[in-house]
Amino acid sequence: MEPSASVVVVSQGREALLARCLMALSQQQKVRMEVVVVTSDPAIQYLAGLGWADRVKLVRMNDENISVARNKGINEAAGDIVAFIDDDAVPEPAWLYLILQAFQRPEVEAATGFTLGRNGISYQWKAETIDAAGVSHPLEVPEDTISVFTSTPDRVIKTVGTNMAFRRDMLRRLGGFDPRYRFYLDEGDLNMRMAQEAVQVAVVPMARVHHAFAPSRRRTEARVPKTLYEIGASQALFVETYMDQSGRNAAMQHFRGGQLHRLLQLLQNGLLGPEEVSFLNVTLSDGISDGRKRSGSTRTILEKAKSPIRPLVESLYSPVQVICGRIFERKGLLMRGKQAASEGEIPIVIELSPSALYHQCYYDERGFWVQYGGIWGKSLRSQPNFRFSTFSARIDAETRRLLREFWLEPDNSGT
Say yes or no to pLDDT of 217 above 90. Answer: no
- Summarize the confidence of residues 28-56 as an average pLDDT: 96
The DSSP bridge partners found for residue 200 are 108, 150
Asked whether 111 and 205 are in contact (CB, 8 A), the reply is no
pTM of the model: 0.96
Average pLDDT, the chain: 95
pLDDT in tens, 262-303: 999 999 999 999 999 999 999 999 999 999 999 887 788 999
| Nearest of 241, 224, 297 to residue 65 by alpha carbon | 297
Q: Which of 195-209, 294-308, 340-354 is predicted with the least confidence, judged by mean pLDDT?
A: 294-308
Task: For residue 182, name the pLDDT band (cuts at 50, 70, 90).
Answer: very high
Q: Which of 93-107, 178-192, 256-270, 291-305 is predicted with the least confidence, judged by mean pLDDT?
A: 291-305
Please tell me the distance from the alpha carbon of residue 374 to that of residue 352, in angstroms, as a whole number: 5
Task: For residue 366, name the pLDDT band (cuts at 50, 70, 90).
Answer: very high
Task: For residue 411, name the pLDDT band (cuts at 50, 70, 90).
Answer: low
Please tell me the distance from the alpha carbon of residue 1 to that of residue 299, in angstroms, as a whole number: 32
Say yes or no to pLDDT of 14 above 80. Answer: yes
User: At a CB cut-off of 8 Å and minimum separation 6, what does 200 contact?
Assistant: 105, 107, 108, 109, 110, 148, 149, 150, 151
Query: Positive or negative CA dihedral for 169, 32, 205, 215?
Result: negative
Helix axes 274-293, 229-242, angle to 10 degrees: 40
pLDDT in tens, 399-408: 999 999 999 9
| Range 5-211 has CATH code 3.90.980.10 | no
H and E: helices and strands count for the chain: 11, 18
- Burial label for 393, CB within 10 Å (0-12, 13-18, 19+), is exposed
The full length of the chain comes to: 415
Task: For residue 313, name the pLDDT band (cuts at 50, 70, 90).
Answer: confident
Say yes or no to pLDDT of 368 above 60. Answer: yes
- Domain residues of the chain, as ranges? 5-211, 229-293, 320-414
Give the angle 42-45-50 at the CA atoms, nearest 5°.
Answer: 130
Task: For residue 415, name the pLDDT band (cuts at 50, 70, 90).
Answer: very low
Task: For residue 1, name the pLDDT band (cuts at 50, 70, 90).
Answer: low
Please tell me the distance from the alpha carbon of residue 260 to that of residue 265, in angstroms, as a whole number: 9
Task: For residue 25, name the pLDDT band (cuts at 50, 70, 90).
Answer: very high
Q: What percent of the chain has pLDDT over 90?
A: 91
Per-residue pLDDT, 412: 47
Asked whether 9 and 37 are in contact (CB, 8 A), the reply is yes
Asked whether 191 and 151 are in contact (CB, 8 A), the reply is yes
